[in-house]
Structure 1
Amino acid sequence: MTPCERLNNVLERIEKACERAGRGKNCARLLGASKTVPPERIKEFYECGLKLFGENRVQEFLKKYEALMELDIEWHFIGQLQTNKVKYLMGKVRLIHSLDRKSLADEIQKRAFKNNLVQDVLIEVNVGGEETKAGVSPEHLKELFEYTLELPNLRVLGLMTIPPYLDNPEDVRPYFRKLRELKEELERDFNVSLPHLSMGMSHDFEVAIEEGATIVRIGTLLFGERKY
């Protein structure tokens, strides 16, 4: 399949999942998870109409950012983020999906203040309690969210998760539902609006949309299998 065919196939599936969920056909944005994908390949998908891409590694992102500067790509950062790398993202990424600790919130606040901007972020939640995965535990989410409210140059727009990988996407549904419930709890307890749930990848994104995803992070279905 050509890049445009791959893209249109995924967009159709997103639209159908949105309609099944009764959320309107444009309920979720497609983010191209472009880790290890070379700039020229990203450009092919951009020319097919995909404008939103997410990167996992700061150094790799910076090279692509430079190579594709002439394109109006909306970049997100979706990987684990070390505090000493935050400064390189300021002014370059619209949304950081992986805030998971107070020290990282402090660093984002500091760097955003220095750059005279407000950095939008999502809090990453480890809904599966997996030791190998980043993310704040559901039990400590409220405490972290409350902490961010005191940081004027950081704005939380919602939550993100990477649930356990299970062969049957239906088995992942409870984790997506849990993230939505946690978001709704924060909205209720703090009287705020959190518009985004970043959840769902190539093999389970339709279930994620049915449970409320607003951003789905798709790699393999767009770019093919990759060696990580």
Structure 2
Amino acid sequence: MDAERIRLNIANVHQRVSTAAEKVGRRADDVTVMAVSKTRSSDEVRTAVAAGLRDLGENYLQEALEKRQATADLDARWHFIGPIQSNKTRAIAEHFDWVHSVDREKIARRLNEQRPDSLPPLDICLQVNVSLEDSKSGVAPEDLAPLARAILQLPRLRLRGLMAIPAPTDDVAAQRAAFARVAELFRDLQETVPTMDTLSMGMSADLESAIAEGATLVRIGTDIFGPRSG
């Protein structure tokens, strides 16, 4: 997609965020827009960062590593948002600033062990399977608290929040109900985990519902870069 269209799309997304936040008495500045840049070129990433987006989300490790190397001069935060295989944890621990998709203690322990001492603690979100879909990654809601307690013992990780991808639906009431459940789980954990400040939920199709229920970070791909081919 050409640079001017990406810039216009980003402006439109910011307007949607601002309108959604205003409707529920929130400040737009309290919601971070992440550009989901998987399958996108380094030039498209550069355009997004030049337009003011600092947070970049990637699902595919090898592609992300190549893209990060090609854009090493950018002031950006790189977030890994895809499923994590054990053989990928070292590269993720070494090259990302955030991980949104932690759902097992084994993976958390590997990320902790493999995070270089020269880097700050790795910021992580626990992915919760709020819709209990068999096809989705994520920890069941009832297992969140034990996983959080285990992660608090890992010094190279910093537990920052929850991430969720509810079952897709065009029903706004259903969208909000799912996000409200994630927000409730988030508030419950905050009572014992004071570092929790991030609620990563909402994408192009449902960001308004997510913001209405308290999202602090929305993950936007299609409405910034257009439909993807892969």
Look up the match of 2:62: 59
Contact 1:90 1:115 in 2 (8 A): no
Q: Secondary structure at the match of 2:160?
A: strand
Q: Secondary structure at the match of 1:70?
A: coil
Look up the match of 2:114: 111
Alignment of 1:28-43 (within 5 A): 28-43=31-46
- Long gaps (5+) in structure 1: none
Post-superposition offset of 1:149: 1.3
The letter for the 1-side match of 2:213 is E
Look up the match of 1:226: 228
Q: Report Cα offsets for 1:30-73 as digits up to 9, x if no partner.
A: 00011111111111222222221100011110010011111112
Look up the match of 2:197: 195
Q: Secondary structure at the match of 2:29?
A: coil
For 2:29 and 2:196, locate their aligned partners in 1 and report how far apart those are by CA, in whole Å. 18
Contact 1:100 1:125 in 2 (8 A): yes
Q: Secondary structure at the match of 1:98?
A: strand
TM-score normalised over the length of structure 2: 0.94
1:86 aligns with 2:89: yes
Q: Secondary structure at the match of 1:90?
A: helix
The letter for the 1-side match of 2:205 is H
The range that moved more, 68-77 or 96-105, is 68-77
Look up the match of 1:125: 128
Look up the match of 1:140: 143
Percent identity at matched positions?
A: 37
For 1:106 and 1:193, locate their aligned partners in 2 and report how far apart those are by CA, in whole Å. 19
TM-score normalised over the length of structure 1: 0.95
Q: Report Cα offsets for 1:184-219 as digits up to 9, x if no partner.
A: 11122x252410000000000111011000000001
Post-superposition offset of 1:164: 0.2
Say which of 48, 53, 57 aligns to 2:51. 48
Q: Aligned Cα RMSD in Å?
A: 1.5
Tell me how many residue pairs correspond in the alignment: 227
Over 3 Å off, 4+ runs:
113-117
Contact 2:93 2:116 in 1 (8 A): no
